[in-house]
Amino acid sequence: MFDSSGRKILIGVVTGTLLSTAIASVLAAEDIQTHRLLDSQGQPVKTVRPNECVYTPNTPNQPPRLFEECGDIMDRDKDGVPDNEDQCPDNTPEEIAQGVYDDKEPPRNPKNRKPQRACDKIGCPIDTDGDSVPDFRDQCPGTSAEYEIQPPNCAKHDCVNTDGCVPDTDADGVPDCKDACPNTATGTKVRADGCSEVETKLIDKTMNAKTLFDFNKAILKPEGRQEIDNLLAEINRLQNWTRIEVIGHTDPVGKDAYNQKLSEQRAKAVFDHLLNQGVPAGKITSIGMGESRLVERLPGESEKDWHARCRRVEVLVYGQEQVQRTQP
């Protein structure tokens, strides 16, 4: 016969075993059963401790229900991946229509699939071609591996649009994101930048440094900005320009290193103004030549006038011969 202390120990062991079994059944991912003491409203009866509810090991709740206030691990978007593992815990029904990434075998939902790439996230919609556009809305599901998202950022490639496609408007084999000439005529042989292999100089504009800058300075004067704006208006009237070169030059007076730096700064000032006025960064470059390309001195020209002509900024605008694009 057990004494009272023995009975207490036995009851404690049995109770502990039952509670452990109940807890294990609550957290079992494949077959969740809840064992709660529920009130008349179907809500769990809580203990005095936070996030703890009264278990009833021998009376499972039917149908099974999880309760966040009882510390249960929920699956609020119902994709089969519990919230503590789910990196996309608020998927819409459309997003999970073709399954999500799941690290269990077999998956917790028949449509789920194991990750295939470093950027595949548990609980996020499946993206078979890895272009960051999930299958359920990918209009081009076989996007080339060249455009797969990569760690550490796992960001969408600039060439891929929101439909998961890589547009090539003029069908020249160069995607729009890399095409400096996106309306090349059909059949035109193009370079890697999508422009015709035959390029011509459309504008060769030389601007005197005295108009653009104060002496030995590289900050544009108001009249200098106006002259550049006038040039930009001329460029914008062209439909076939592809790139702009800005080249700074100085006179031969002074040290070579100083002149080189000043020419670079002045070219950069014009470059920056054109950028600020909307010229795409990928279509313009700037370089300083210092005193390495002096203009030819004219017969009878004074040294002062010659030096003044040497101090200049050239803007060269290149493009294709004007062509009419053939309509398909």
CATH number at residue 229: 3.30.1330.60
Answer whether residue 180 is part of any domain.
Answer: no
Answer whether residue 274 is part of any domain.
Answer: yes
Shared domain check, 114 and 153: yes
Domain final position from 42, 70, 98: 70
User: What single-letter DSSP state applies at residue 51?
Assistant: T
Neighbouring CB atoms inside 10 A of 43's CB total: 13
Place of tokens 């050239």: 314
- pLDDT at position 260 is 95
Contact 259, 289 (CB under 8 A): no
Number of domains forming the structure of the chain? 3
Shared domain check, 151 and 125: yes
Contact 166, 139 (CB under 8 A): no
**CA 61, 65, 67, 73 torsion: positive or negative?**
positive
Cα 165 to chain centroid distance, Å, stands at 15
Shared domain check, 47 and 103: no
Answer whether residue 261 is part of any domain.
Answer: yes
Neighbouring CB atoms inside 10 A of 72's CB total: 20
Shared domain check, 264 and 152: no
Answer whether residue 188 is part of any domain.
Answer: no
Shared domain check, 89 and 16: no
pLDDT band at 321 (very low <50, low <70, confident <90, very high): low
Shared domain check, 220 and 118: no
Domain final position from 70, 88, 108: 70
Within 8 A by CB and 6+ apart from 131, the residues are 138, 143, 147, 148, 149, 156, 157, 160, 164
pLDDT tens figures, 65-124: 888 888 888 999 999 999 999 999 999 999 999 999 999 999 999 999 999 999 999 999
pLDDT band at 32 (very low <50, low <70, confident <90, very high): low
Shared domain check, 316 and 245: yes
- pLDDT at position 119 is 96
Q: What is the mean pLDDT of the chain?
A: 86
The residue that leads in pLDDT, 198 or 321, is: 198
pLDDT tens figures, 114-153: 999 999 999 999 999 999 999 999 999 999 999 999 999 9
Shared domain check, 211 and 274: yes
Shared domain check, 86 and 61: no
The residue that leads in pLDDT, 192 or 28, is: 192
Shared domain check, 142 and 102: yes
Strand partners, 314: 206, 247
Alpha-carbon separation of residue 153 from 22, 249, 291 (angstroms): 42, 42, 45
Shared domain check, 207 and 99: no
Say how far apart CA 118 and CA 76 lie, in whole Å: 25
Q: What is the mean pLDDT of residues 262-281?
A: 96
- Residue 53's φ and ψ, nearest 5 degrees, are -120, 165
Q: Is the pLDDT of residue 194 over 90?
A: no
Shared domain check, 82 and 55: no
Rg (CA), the chain: 36
Is residue 83 exposed (0-12), middle (13-18) or buried (19+ Cβ within 10 Å)?
A: middle
Q: In the numeric block, which tokens belong to residue 127?
A: 């993206």
Phi-psi domain of 210 (left: phi exceeds 0; alpha: psi -120 through 50; beta: other)? alpha
Amino acid at 251: D
- pLDDT at position 9 is 41
Q: In the numeric block, which tokens belong to residue 98?
A: 């073709």
Alpha-carbon separation of residue 238 from 47, 115, 232, 235, 322 (angstroms): 78, 50, 10, 5, 9
Q: Which residue in 76, 69, 60 sits closest to 28, CA to CA?
A: 60
Q: Which of 90-94, 106-110, 179-183, 238-242 has the lowest mean pLDDT?
A: 179-183
- Percent of the chain clearing pLDDT 70 (strictly above): 88
pLDDT band at 271 (very low <50, low <70, confident <90, very high): very high
Domain final position from 12, 39, 70: 70
- Give the global pTM: 0.51
Q: Is the pLDDT of residue 24 over 70?
A: no
Half-sphere exposure of residue 142: CA atoms within 13 angstroms, side-chain side? 0
Answer whether residue 275 is part of any domain.
Answer: yes
Range of the domain at 263: 199-294+302-320
